[in-house]
Structure 1
Amino acid sequence: MDASPSPAAASGPPGHRPAPVLPPGPPPCFPPAPVPRSAVRRLATPVGVMAAVVAAFGYVGAVDPNQPGHYPVCPMLRFTGLYCPGCGGLRSAHAVAHGDIAAALGSNALAVVGYAVFAVLWLVWMVRASRGRPVRIALAPVWMWGLGAVLLIFTVVRNLPFGSMLAP
């Protein structure tokens, strides 16, 4: 005698659809539907980052790095006598905080360019976050190598006699 139900019994009442049969094993995983975030939550991270940057520039603007004893000495400058790419960065930030762009460029021109790049990237981040779009900055390896080359060339030139205008 056959124990399986007849095709008529398996179909159920008219208009009824049988539940799909899942294969044995763990249930299938589906990613959760994206939950729309409020504008406040989307903007919290970029606003927090800018608050930290403003606080850092405020501190450097208030505590003059031109006065000895407030900040540690650059280890590369101390032990080798050579300027690293960051030497003069605090003096540059101090000058930017006081609105003296010429002095900032004289202290560390590359840092001033970095401040400008940060400002542009932060603005793009803020606009995209306000529209609910993700920010993806994917740099190809050639850009990373290029940035490294610029830092290396800047470091070498500022330590040579003809590049003394780049020294802090």
Structure 2
Amino acid sequence: MNLRPIRTQRILRRCGFCIAIFALAGIAHVLSIANPSGEWQAFFPKCMFFLATGLHCPGCGCQRAIHHLFNGRILLALQCNAMVIIALPWLTWEAARASLLFLEFPLPQILAVRWRLSGKQAMSIAIAVMAFWVLRNIPCRPFEWLAPPVTKAAFAFLPWRKFPSCAVSVNGKLEAYPTTAIATPAAAVKTRG
């Protein structure tokens, strides 16, 4: 039996995994240095759902949350996207486990535990994500805290949305919570003349 193709496949897998690890380390380094809502805003990808509708999806604020988490600002990270920060330990656990399985390494005892979700648990998570999505777009005081801080540059992409009067600063300090005063696209067209 010729084992050469199997060895070649393992070598290619491990090389691809190393390239992916270096790419993720580079992305993590950029996110730790560059503030996605600051001067580097044009460099980072925008949320297509937010650009199309002006509403926050469940993932809006992830880049800013990871940036603040890397820099030790846990409360700001939670305010940008609490759901992702709370799910991060589980996501890290599953990523480490999947990586070792992909590389065909034996799993350490601590990673051998597999969290299996039942149908009810998966449905509960889906309902929680949908509730988070809806609640963070309600423009009243307790729910708007779930939305990420709004910067003036974010409104440059949305011609029909007005910048709120109580803005937050870009330098990482929250001065006030955002309000989501949305004008309809038809009203924006009428005011342009």
Report which of the two structures shows the higher radius of gyration computed on alpha carbons.
1
Task: Give TM class, smaller chain.
Answer: 0.5 to 0.7
Which sections of structure 1, spanning at least 5 residues, go unmatched?
1-40
Q: Calculate the TM-score normalised by the size of structure 1.
A: 0.60
Amino acid at match of 1:109: A
The whole-number CA distance in structure 1 between the counterparts of 2:45 and 2:70 is 20
- Please report how far the alpha carbon of residue 140 of structure 1 lies from its aligned counterpart in structure 2 after TM superposition: 2.6
Kept in 2, the 8 Å contact 1:89–1:107? The answer is yes
Q: Alignment identity in percent?
A: 23
Distance 1:142 1:46, change over 3 A: farther
Amino acid at match of 2:136: R
Larger CA deviation: 48-57 vs 150-159: 48-57
Distance 1:59 1:79, change over 3 A: same
Task: Report Cα offsets for 1:16-53 as digits up to 9, x if no partner.
Answer: xxxxxxxxxxxxxxxxxxxxxxxxx9xx6988776554
Kept in 2, the 8 Å contact 1:58–1:97? The answer is no
The alignment yields a C-alpha RMSD, in angstroms, of: 3.7
Which sections of structure 2, spanning at least 5 residues, go unmatched?
1-10, 149-193
Distance 1:99 1:131, change over 3 A: same
Q: 2:90 aligns with which of 117, 122, 125?
A: 117
Q: Calculate the TM-score normalised by the size of structure 2.
A: 0.53
The whole-number CA distance in structure 2 between the counterparts of 1:141 and 1:55 is 37
The whole-number CA distance in structure 2 between the counterparts of 1:70 and 1:107 is 19
Larger CA deviation: 114-123 vs 125-134: 125-134
2:181 corresponds to which residue? none
Task: Report Cα offsets for 1:37-72 as digits up to 9, x if no partner.
Answer: xxxx9xx69887765544332221223201231223
Give the aligned length.
134
Q: Flag the structure with more relative contact order, 1 or 2, with Cα contacts below 8 A and sequence separation at least 6.
A: 1
2:184 corresponds to which residue? none
